[in-house]
């Protein structure tokens, strides 16, 4: 049987050695057998599992979601409705993040558009960011 070192596993998946150790620590990857020299000896199945984890993480799934997907994937005859629901919830969360980012961009663009140049003392951008303090008429000014 062919064994993979942690370094080879990292290279094959574009994952760092530290991340692989972390995934092992949190139970996403089973602790591999050890060689006589006490090195981790990963199997080809571990490579495939890590590729799965890597791809789902690249798509933004949380570790808990990845764990759930891995658990579901083991039961080959299982109805895929739960997988579909989990993926839809994740897509909805992404859509919400996109909407939040669009609103954030619009707000920041509006602030930038108000910039008329001049000095920092008159900077409209900074005035927007700084809270109005009681008795203050603007940033850096005394009342």
Cβ distance 13 to 47 under 8 Å?
yes
Cβ distance 1 to 35 under 8 Å?
no
Query: In terms of residue numbers, what domain contains 20?
Result: 1-78
The torsion angles phi and psi of 76, rounded to 5 degrees, stand at -60, -30
CATH of the domain at 8: 1.10.1660.10
What is the reported pLDDT for 137?
Answer: 57
Are residues 103 and 33 located together in one domain of the fold? no
**3-state secondary structure string, 99-121?**
HHHHHHHHHHHHHHHCCCCCCHH
Are residues 72 and 61 located together in one domain of the fold? yes
Is 116 domain-assigned? yes
Chain center to CA of 124: 34
Are residues 32 and 69 located together in one domain of the fold? yes
Is 137 domain-assigned? no
What is the reported pLDDT for 106?
Answer: 96
**Is residue 2 left, alpha or beta, with left meaning phi > 0 and alpha meaning psi from -120 to 50?**
beta
What is the reported pLDDT for 119?
Answer: 87
| Distance (Å, whole) CA 54 – CA 61 | 10
Is 68 domain-assigned? yes
| Distance (Å, whole) CA 113 – CA 91 | 32
What is the reported pLDDT for 44?
Answer: 92
The torsion angles phi and psi of 128, rounded to 5 degrees, stand at -70, -35
Is 142 domain-assigned? no
The torsion angles phi and psi of 42, rounded to 5 degrees, stand at -80, 150
Is 139 domain-assigned? no
Global pTM value: 0.75
Per residue in 25-77, pLDDT (tens digit) is: 999 999 998 888 888 899 999 999 999 999 999 999 999 999 999 999 988 88
What is the reported pLDDT for 143?
Answer: 44
Per residue in 93-130, pLDDT (tens digit) is: 999 999 999 999 999 999 899 888 888 888 888 888 88
Query: Is residue 80 scored above 80 in pLDDT?
Result: yes
Is 50 domain-assigned? yes
């Amino acid at each position: 049987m062919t064994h993979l070192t942690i370094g080879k596993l990292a290279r094959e998946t574009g994952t760092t050695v530290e991340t692989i150790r972390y995934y092992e620590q949190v139970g996403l990857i089973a602790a591999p057998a050890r060689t006589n020299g006490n090195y981790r000896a990963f199997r080809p199945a571990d490579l495939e599992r890590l590729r799965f984890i890597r791809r789902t993480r690249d798509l933004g799934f949380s570790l808990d979601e990845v764990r759930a997907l891995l658990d579901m994937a083991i039961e080959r005859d299982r109805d895929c409705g739960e997988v579909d629901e989990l993926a839809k919830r994740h897509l909805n969360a992404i859509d919400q993040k996109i909407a939040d980012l669009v609103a954030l961009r619009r707000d920041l663009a509006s602030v930038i558009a108000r910039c008329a140049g001049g000095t920092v003392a008159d900077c409209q951008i900074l005035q927007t960011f700084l809270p109005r303090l009681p008795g203050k008429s603007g940033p850096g000014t005394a009342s």
